[in-house]
Structure 1
Amino acid sequence: MSLTDAYLDTAAQAMTLLGVPEVAASWEKNSALTDMTVAALAGHLAYQVFSVTPALQEPTSHEAPIPLLEHYARAAWIDAPLDGEANAGIRAKGEDIASEGAQVLLVRVRAALGEQKVALPRVQSGRVVFMPQTGWALSLDDFLVTRMIELAVHMDDLAVSVGIAAPNIPATAFDPVLTLLARLAARRHGQAALLRALARAERAPSAINAL
């Protein structure tokens, strides 16, 4: 299965999660993330799907794509304080996206995903996506991996926030997500720390977070 299929399957799971009654019932409550309501978190989760549409509508970029690990090395939001501009902007954008309520958000996600199911399989290999919010480009495959990691992490956040079990993403999506997270964790903490966390409980570090 291709990364395109893996992304579409993961996005479909996110759509299903956004439609569960517990999400709408908890809409105005605080989420599991500091200073973020369930509505804002749902909006941020939905944004990961919405962000793929312009990547398919714009012509392929002539910018040279950067490696995926370099993308995360440059990302302004990593290690930014919770009250800093980057994270405050993420929360505000999530609230704005969700401002019309749970049902409208679900309809919008369903429509976007329906369009992407038609458009993505038609995209030529080697497509490059320029991201104006960052100022650099990624290959489409790498861009879809960034969407899958966001979907996987925030589906867990949303499920925990409303008291339900988090969905298991497809193996075809979990493998690239796990690989990326492991590489980011190793870069942050070192290879030995990651190996010990996975294989030696008696020597495992207290933290092995990737992001």
Structure 2
Amino acid sequence: MSLKNAYLETAAQAVALLDTPEVAALWGKPSVLTEWSVGGLAGHLIYQIFSVAPVLQEPESEHDPISLLDHYARAVWIDAPLDGEANSGIRAKGEDISSEGVQPLRERARAALDEQRKGLAQLRGDRVVFMPQTGWALTLDDFLVTRMVELAVHIDDLTVSVGGRVAELPHTAFAPVAALLTELSARRHGQAALLRALTRVERAPAAINVF
């Protein structure tokens, strides 16, 4: 299965989560993430789907794409403070998206996903996608992996926030997400820390988090 199909399956899980009554009932309540409401977190989750729409609407970029590892090395939000400009802006955008309410957001997400099912099938995986919010470009396949990372992490966040049971990702999505996070963890903490965390509990570090 292609990364495009893996992304579409993961995005469909996010839309299905938005359709659960628990999310609607707790929309204005705090989520498990500090300073995020359930609705704001849902808005941020669904934004990952909306962010793919320009790929279908704009011509291929003439920029040279960078690698996924370079993309995350440049990302200012990873080590930014919770109350810093980058993270405050991300939360504000999620809350703004959620302000339309759960039902309109759900309908808009379904429509976006239907359009992407048709449009992505026509595009090459090595198509170059420029991201104006960052100022650099990725290949379409790499861009979709970044969306799957966001979707995977925040599906878990939102599910736990509403007391649900977290559904497993399809293997075709989990594999590239896990591979990328493993690379990022090793780069941040070192190979030994990662290996010990996975195989030697007696020597495992306290954390091997990526974000």
Asked whether the two chains share a fold, i.e. TM above 0.5, the reply is yes
1:166-205 equivalences under 5 Å are: 166-205=166-205
Residue in 1 aligned with 2:103?
A: 103
Residue in 1 aligned with 2:159?
A: 159
Separation in 1, partners of 2:124, 2:78: 32
State the one-letter code of the partner of 2:92.
Answer: A
Deviations 1:158-195 (A, max 9, x none): 00100001121100000000000000000110000000
Deviation at 1:125, TM superposition (A): 4.0
Residue in 1 aligned with 2:130?
A: 130
Indicate whether 1:41 and 2:60 are aligned.
Answer: no
Residue in 1 aligned with 2:148?
A: 148
Residue in 2 aligned with 1:11?
A: 11
Deviation at 1:37, TM superposition (A): 0.4
State the one-letter code of the partner of 2:164.
Answer: I
State the one-letter code of the partner of 1:128.
Answer: V
Separation in 2, partners of 1:125, 1:17: 27
Contact 2:130 2:137 in 1 (8 A): yes
Separation in 1, partners of 2:70, 2:33: 26
Q: Secondary structure of 1:69's match?
A: helix
Deviations 1:39-82 (A, max 9, x none): 10000000000000112211000000000000000001011000
Separation in 1, partners of 2:137, 2:205: 34
Deviation at 1:6, TM superposition (A): 0.2
Residue in 1 aligned with 2:84?
A: 84
Q: Secondary structure of 2:138's match?
A: strand
1:44-83 equivalences under 5 Å are: 44-83=44-83
Contact 2:60 2:128 in 1 (8 A): yes
Contact 2:7 2:144 in 1 (8 A): yes
Q: Secondary structure of 2:36's match?
A: coil
Deviation at 1:124, TM superposition (A): 2.9
Q: Percent identity?
A: 69
Separation in 2, partners of 1:24, 1:115: 25
Which structure 1 segments of 5+ residues have no match?
none
Provide the aligned C-alpha RMSD in A.
0.6
Question: Structure 2 length normalisation: TM-score?
Answer: 0.99
State the one-letter code of the partner of 2:114.
Answer: G
Q: Secondary structure of 2:15's match?
A: helix
Deviation at 1:126, TM superposition (A): 2.2
Residue in 2 aligned with 1:22?
A: 22
Question: Structure 1 length normalisation: TM-score?
Answer: 0.99
Q: Secondary structure of 1:130's match?
A: strand
Judged with a 3 Å threshold, the aligned counterparts in structure 2 of structure 1 residues 50 and 168 are, in CA distance, closer, same or farther, namely: same
Aligned residues: 211
Contact 2:124 2:140 in 1 (8 A): no
